[in-house]
């Protein structure tokens, strides 16, 4: 199901049919470095990741990560969405794109659509974001979206930068 549309992109809810896409994306070196190893090694693992993550989030919270697809040719470029993690007090935005699609504006375009939807349709107020301490590209993107650095937080064993966007 297409949830959001921008000038160049469609943001679609994940289904089990997206397992190959998820398997590839969550095992990209940049994903592993900046987001973490999700233990997804097979198509079955990817289907479980989709069911237990995005699909469960849609049902429970009415939002979650979405697959980002170029409208003109149907190429899947990444994922973006608002999540609600148990480890954070408010929802947070998350995104990851295949390296071959970096620096083309897809992350910013999809994140702007996600933020607009979060505020205008979902009625979310304060939205968070977390990055590793060295993820400069994500921090720049968050700045362009109007997020400000708030503080360092510990999630699990990792120290992360916490950013905040107020309505």
User: Which pLDDT tens digit goes with each residue over 75-88?
Assistant: 999 999 999 999 89
Residue 2 is predicted with a pLDDT of 64
Residue 157 is predicted with a pLDDT of 83
What are the structure tokens assigned to 80, written together?
């973006």
Give the pLDDT confidence of 64-121 residue by residue, as tens digits: 999 999 999 999 999 999 999 998 999 999 999 999 999 999 999 999 999 999 999 9
What percent of the chain has pLDDT above 70? Answer: 99
Using left for φ > 0, alpha for ψ between -120 and 50, and beta otherwise, residue 162 falls in: beta
Residue 1 is predicted with a pLDDT of 64
The answer to whether 70 and 14 have CB atoms below 8 angstroms apart is no
- The average pLDDT across 52-71 equals 96
CA dist., res. 119 & res. 157, Å (int): 31
Give the pLDDT confidence of 133-142 residue by residue, as tens digits: 999 999 999 9
pLDDT band at 155 (very low <50, low <70, confident <90, very high): confident
CA dist., res. 114 & res. 120, Å (int): 10
What are the structure tokens assigned to 103, written together?
């620096």
Question: What distances in angstroms separate CA 43 from CA 11, 101, 124, 125, one per listed residue?
Answer: 22, 23, 33, 36
Residue 156 is predicted with a pLDDT of 80
Pairing of strands 158-165, 148-155: antiparallel
Domains and CATH numbers, the chain: 2-165 (3.40.630.30)
8-state DSSP, 16: G
């Amino acid at each position: 199901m297409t949830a959001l549309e921008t000038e160049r992109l469609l943001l679609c809810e994940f289904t089990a049919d997206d397992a190959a896409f998820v398997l590839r994306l969550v095992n990209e070196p940049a994903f592993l470095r900046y987001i973490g190893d999700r233990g997804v090694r097979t198509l079955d693992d990817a289907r479980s990741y989709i069911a237990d993550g995005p699909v469960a989030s849609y049902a429970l919270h009415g939002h979650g990560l979405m697959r980002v697809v170029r409208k003109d040719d149907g190429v899947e470029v990444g994922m973006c969405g608002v999540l609600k993690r148990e480890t954070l007090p408010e929802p947070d935005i998350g995104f990851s794109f295949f390296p071959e699609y970096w620096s083309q504006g897809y992350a910013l375009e999809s994140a702007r659509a996600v933020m607009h939807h979060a505020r205008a349709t979902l009625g979310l107020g304060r939205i968070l974001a977390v990055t590793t301490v060295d993820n400069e590209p994500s921090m720049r993107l968050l700045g362009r979206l109007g997020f400000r650095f708030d503080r360092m937080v510990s999630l699990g064993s990792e120290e992360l930068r916490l950013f905040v966007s107020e309505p």
